[in-house]
Amino acid sequence: MTHGSILMACPECDLLHWVSAPPKGGVSFCTRCGATLRRGGYDSKDVALALHCAALILFFLAVSFPVMSLRLHGTVQEASIPGCARILANLGWPWLSAVLITTVLLAPLAHMIGMIYVLLQIREQHPNRWTVWVFRIVEQFGAWGMAEVFILGIMVSYVKLAKMAVVLPGPSLFGLGAFIVVAAAAVSALDIGSVWEELGSPAMGTFDNNPVEAQTAREANMVGCPTCGLLSQLEVITCPRCGATLHSRKLNSRERTWALLITAILLYLPANLLPVMRVLSLGHTQSDTIMGGVFYFLRSGSWPLALIIFIASVVVPILKIIILAVLLVSERRRSSRWPGQRARLYRLTEMVGRWSMVDIFVITLMVALVEMGSVATISPGPGSVAFALMVFSTMLAVQCFDPRLVWDSLTMAPGKQKEYEHE
């Protein structure tokens, strides 16, 4: 034990570590599975606050201007992001509109406003129980924000629409790009661990056990908080610092992950076989499946876009399904082989999942922009419902899986040094 360091359980493998506050920009990793234990911010809380405010302003600019304008046979069609959502709802596709509103508008907005509120409360030095509550849920909103995937969607639909009409990028595209850069800077400026230390009284839970570092929290009869990381006795039900419910392992993790995974597998076929988009022009209808979209880009010579859509929409979902199935089966057989590799695969599925939504955003943009019935109409196909549901069920399956299960069949204790790495 070193002075000033706190005992933490690795969120992904449950191994106990003594962790000291990392230096600016430094990250401390788990010695066994490589998960991030604590990330030191690049700057102070005030800088993080300023950046979040700047991101909020850019966000409002991005949503109040049109994303693209389309010139077709003398008419100009343009729509902002809320405009797209409204058009979709009016055309009878409220679910598509809801996906757009939640992932591109509400989730980033709730994350920013929540962070600004918490950082202001800390600055004014009167954090209350609401501050703790807001900070506890704020991270969850961040996970469902998909502004960067939406930007990719804008680029893809730009290329698609450019074949039909004169397309001009709108100011929103640049606003959204600037927002993503500033929002990412705001997130990396902040040391989340130090915010928790200012919000909650105990920097370290109270426990009378005498834990050894090579033990897991469960072996030491303790449990780490999934939200704020505070370590408590195993009998404690709610975290004394943030109020989150404590479980040594996620409840019914295997059953829930399997259920969501099977749902995703069942949806995979209709998502890929049914048309995701219908284009009606000059009296004849053309239906496009996901693969049809890939071939369309290949035929028109935009192979980088064909590759992006193929990877995001076809490869990533099937890869996630296979990885989760492998993790569940190997855990069931209590396999102790390749735990490090399995942990990395799990982290990969967490990271790439959101990019599968790009095709859904392409559909929303194309439907909303080309709604002048005289020349052409684009409408979503039933495949798009199956596709969006499949992406959401794989994302939820990844969240339901408990990566600590991978390590539970292992008894060996690894090396104990911790290293700080500067990025």
Other CB atoms closer than 10 Å to residue 302's CB: what's the count?
18
**Choice between 69 and 248, CB closer to Zn ion:** 248
CA 122 from chain centre, in angstroms, equals: 26
Other CB atoms closer than 10 Å to residue 409's CB: what's the count?
14
The one among 56, 230, 264, 360 contacting Zn ion by CB under 5 A = 230
Binding of Zn ion by 195 (CB under 5 A): no
Q: What share of the chain is helix, strand, coil (3-state, %, to 5)?
A: 55, 15, 30
Least distance CB 289 / Zn ion (angstroms): 41
* DSSP per-residue string spanning 232-290: EETT--B-TTT-PBP-SS-TTHHHHHHHHHHHHHHHHHHHHHS-SEEEEETTEEEEE-H
Binding of Zn ion by 19 (CB under 5 A): no
* Residues 97, 212: Cα–Cα separation, whole Å: 52
**Choice between 33 and 161, CB closer to Zn ion:** 33
**Choice between 385 and 406, CB closer to Zn ion:** 406
Main-chain dihedrals φ then ψ at residue 47, nearest 5 degrees = -65, -40
Least distance CB 63 / Zn ion (angstroms): 33
Least distance CB 340 / Zn ion (angstroms): 10
The one among 13, 308, 391, 397 contacting Zn ion by CB under 5 A = 13
**Choice between 78 and 350, CB closer to Zn ion:** 350
Binding of Zn ion by 239 (CB under 5 A): yes
The one among 189, 225, 306, 366 contacting Zn ion by CB under 5 A = 225
Least distance CB 342 / Zn ion (angstroms): 12
Which of 72-80, 121-129, 236-244, 248-256 is the region at the interface with Zn ion (rule: CB under 5 A)? 236-244
Q: Which residues between 141 and 170 bind Zn ion (CB under 5 A)? A: none
**Choice between 241 and 354, CB closer to Zn ion:** 241
Least distance CB 221 / Zn ion (angstroms): 18
Residues 210/249/194/55 CA torsion (nearest 10 deg):
170
* Residues 369, 69: Cα–Cα separation, whole Å: 8
Binding of Zn ion by 358 (CB under 5 A): no
HSE (side-chain half, CA atoms, 13 Å) at 339:
23
Q: How many residues bind Zn ion (CB under 5 A)?
A: 15
Which of 162-170, 217-225, 324-332, 355-363 is the region at the interface with Zn ion (rule: CB under 5 A)? 217-225
Which of 235-243, 260-268, 294-302, 314-322 is the region at the interface with Zn ion (rule: CB under 5 A)? 235-243
Asked whether 46 and 122 are in contact (CB, 8 A), the reply is no
Bridge partners (DSSP) of residue 245 are 238
Main-chain dihedrals φ then ψ at residue 79, nearest 5 degrees = -150, 145
Q: Which residues between 32 and 61 bind Zn ion (CB under 5 A)? A: 32-33, 35
The one among 7, 99, 138, 228 contacting Zn ion by CB under 5 A = 228
* Residues 41, 191: Cα–Cα separation, whole Å: 4
With H, G, I as helix, E, B as strand and everything else as coil, classify residue 79: strand
Bridge partners (DSSP) of residue 380 are 277
Binding of Zn ion by 30 (CB under 5 A): yes
Chain residues in the site for Zn ion (CB under 5 A): 10, 12-13, 30, 32-33, 35, 225, 227-228, 230, 239, 241-242, 244
